[in-house]
Structure 1
Amino acid sequence: MSSVRPTVERLQLGVSLTRLRTAARKSQSEAASAIDRTAARLSQVENGKGSLGTEELLKLLDFYGVQGNERNTILALGTAARRRSVRRGYVDTLPEPFQRLVEMQVAASRISWYECGVIPGLVQSPDYVQAIMALSNSIYWEPSEEETGNRISFRLDHQRRVLECGGPKDITVIFTEDSLQHTVGSTSVMRGQVLHLLQLLERHENLTIRVVLNSAVDNPALGGGLVLLDFQESSPVSFAPLLYGPCTYYDQAEDLATMQRMYLRVEELALSRERTRELLIDLVRKDA
């Protein structure tokens, strides 16, 4: 195995193997010995800078006790991670794509998240999450209270894992003002959402929330969203949220440059952290 250029596939393989090793309560040294590699080499793989052959992956999965569909998914990720052909975007069509998205956000040192017309999932209140999932039931999946409940639990766990992870992480969430004006669930849910945002700002010093006013001129990201992930040990990755379809990631320099320029322009248009806080407080007072 040699050190190779980090890609989304290699990063996803790395964060997945890290999670499995942690769940199995094995050290890097123990896991590396199981496949006759050094801990330094395994560290490269877990940081998205290397790949493993099929036989090595099989030994590692046996060592971690991984079976069934998850085993097949990791093997498929391993195949994708070894691919050296250049491609523009990576479409994640493997099972449990949102699990890998969360793992990448947990591993990131910086998250830059922008949404237009909706509160970003990372800072949604529990009631807002329930309302979003309730309206999605029978549209994005067949009517199922169990499925809806599972998705609510997953979203709330996603927030907890990213916002409360122990490592250093800078998080900036930007959304358009109309996100606060569209009623999701009820007016009561929206009042609670504003209070939730204020509570998050008080609770998390590493979190910045900013609003782009409706009066802002020439927003280049109207009608869409984007997430930029920076890593200490790997190259940046960008993700474009979609209404429907598989997750699409970008890690090529030309794509990242475009999305970074777009995000920087949105940052220029957005209110500061403090001005946003004042806006939210004003909304609470008006509804009092």
Structure 2
Amino acid sequence: MADAQQTVERMQLGLVLVELRSRAGASQQEAGAAVRKSPTRISQIEHGKGALKHDDLVRLLELYGAAESERDAVLALAKQARRRAPRRAYTDVLPDAFHRLADLQASASAIRHYASGVFPGLLQSPEYVRAVIEACDGYWWDESSGQVDTRIAFRLEQQRRVFAAVEAKSLAFVFTEDALHNVVGGAAVMRGQVLHVLQLVERHPAISVQILRSGTVGNPALGGDLTVLDFVNAPRIGYAPTLYGPTTYYDQPADTGPMARVFERARELALRPAESKALLIEHLKES
């Protein structure tokens, strides 16, 4: 059977199934036996190159001991993955969408992130993360919902999965200079955040951090935020995080091409990594 075209939905489905199978301690051979498929076929599905029929997927989820909420989300995602109608973009409106975003980031070989007015999420210190999330408590969600600690733990685990990956990723970040001056959590948190970035750069040579100075002319990403994910054997994925609402993913070259070009232009306009490091050190001394 020929491999199906990889799409965001199929890649997300495959990554979720890998996580569930690993948690259950099952092998690809055992998974294949449960649905009368070869281990090779299970591998194809886990790599986003195919999909299972509904009944086969139900049996697989039973083998993995998936909770009811997990089962419902996986089956809904599989329905999207089986769609044959062409689509320009995919908006993930299913529960736990942030977990699937983390899966994509963890499996990417390269991450390029441009942020405006704030330090990129993967570069945020634990104290900065807490300050950002606590500022949203009671506004984007009910203050009594207890989401603060859950969201903080998720963000820190998301960072750990990216930086502790077995195969080092190429990581490139560009953020605007006003992120240094937009106070998040107070002066001590901001000093700690700058120091955190400097320490990350020292510990992880594959990281490129560049600052786009205020007043720079010709920035095509002005006021925006975008991320481009590249994979070894899968299509490029791009998304532009929004202040509110579900994440929309793009995997068609007509969309990911411009997103990559915009990032590279912002990178050209920004200070070089060494210059950006010097600016961070200067800012730390003055704060």
* TM interval, short-chain normalised: over 0.9
Following the alignment from structure 1 to structure 2, what is the Cα–Cα distance between the partners of residues 136 and 27?
41
Contact 1:220 1:265 in 2 (8 A): yes
- Per-residue deviation at 1:91? 0.7
Code of the residue aligned with 1:270 in structure 2: it is: A
Q: TM-score, normalised by structure 1?
A: 0.96
Following the alignment from structure 1 to structure 2, what is the Cα–Cα distance between the partners of residues 2 and 75?
23
Structure 2 match to 1:149 = 149
Structure 2 match to 1:30 = 30
Asked if 1:170 is matched to 2:170, the reply is: yes
Cα RMSD after superposing both structures: 1.3
Q: Deviations over 1:159-211 (max 9, x none)?
A: 11111122231111111111111011111111111000001111112222111
Structure 1 match to 2:267 = 267
Structure 1 match to 2:63 = 63
Q: Deviations over 1:49-92 (max 9, x none)?
A: 11111111111111111131110100111111010111111110
Closer/same/farther in 2, CA of residues 145 and 152 from structure 1, 3 Å limit = farther
Contact 1:2 1:51 in 2 (8 A): no
Code of the residue aligned with 1:27 in structure 2: it is: S
Asked if 1:159 is matched to 2:159, the reply is: yes
- Per-residue deviation at 1:145? 7.0
Structure 2 match to 1:45 = 45
SS in 1 for 2:263: helix
Following the alignment from structure 2 to structure 1, what is the Cα–Cα distance between the partners of residues 31 and 277?
47
Code of the residue aligned with 1:61 in structure 2: it is: L
Q: TM-score, normalised by structure 2?
A: 0.96
Code of the residue aligned with 2:211 in structure 1: it is: V
Following the alignment from structure 1 to structure 2, what is the Cα–Cα distance between the partners of residues 149 and 205?
30
- Per-residue deviation at 1:117? 0.8
Asked if 1:12 is matched to 2:12, the reply is: yes
Of stretches 251-260 and 70-79 in structure 1, the one that deviates more from structure 2 is: 251-260
Following the alignment from structure 1 to structure 2, what is the Cα–Cα distance between the partners of residues 15 and 105?
11
Structure 2 match to 1:189 = 189
Q: Which runs of 5+ in 2 are unaligned?
A: none
Contact 1:13 1:81 in 2 (8 A): yes
Following the alignment from structure 1 to structure 2, what is the Cα–Cα distance between the partners of residues 24 and 8?
24
Q: Deviations over 1:96-133 (max 9, x none)?
A: 00000001100111111111111111110111111101
Code of the residue aligned with 2:258 in structure 1: it is: T
SS in 2 for 1:144: helix
Following the alignment from structure 2 to structure 1, what is the Cα–Cα distance between the partners of residues 185 and 24?
41
Following the alignment from structure 2 to structure 1, what is the Cα–Cα distance between the partners of residues 270 and 38?
47
Closer/same/farther in 2, CA of residues 183 and 282 from structure 1, 3 Å limit = same
Q: Which runs of 5+ in 1 are unaligned?
A: none
SS in 2 for 1:171: strand
Code of the residue aligned with 1:70 in structure 2: it is: E
Code of the residue aligned with 2:130 in structure 1: it is: Q
Following the alignment from structure 2 to structure 1, what is the Cα–Cα distance between the partners of residues 227 and 186?
27
- Per-residue deviation at 1:27? 2.0
- Per-residue deviation at 1:280? 0.9
Code of the residue aligned with 1:218 in structure 2: it is: G
Following the alignment from structure 1 to structure 2, what is the Cα–Cα distance between the partners of residues 65 and 41?
21
Following the alignment from structure 1 to structure 2, what is the Cα–Cα distance between the partners of residues 149 and 250?
30
Percent identity over the alignment is 45
Of stretches 91-100 and 181-190 in structure 1, the one that deviates more from structure 2 is: 181-190
Following the alignment from structure 1 to structure 2, what is the Cα–Cα distance between the partners of residues 177 and 56?
52
For 1:194-273, list aligned pairs within 5 A. 194-273=194-273
Following the alignment from structure 1 to structure 2, what is the Cα–Cα distance between the partners of residues 164 and 207?
13
Contact 1:111 1:170 in 2 (8 A): yes
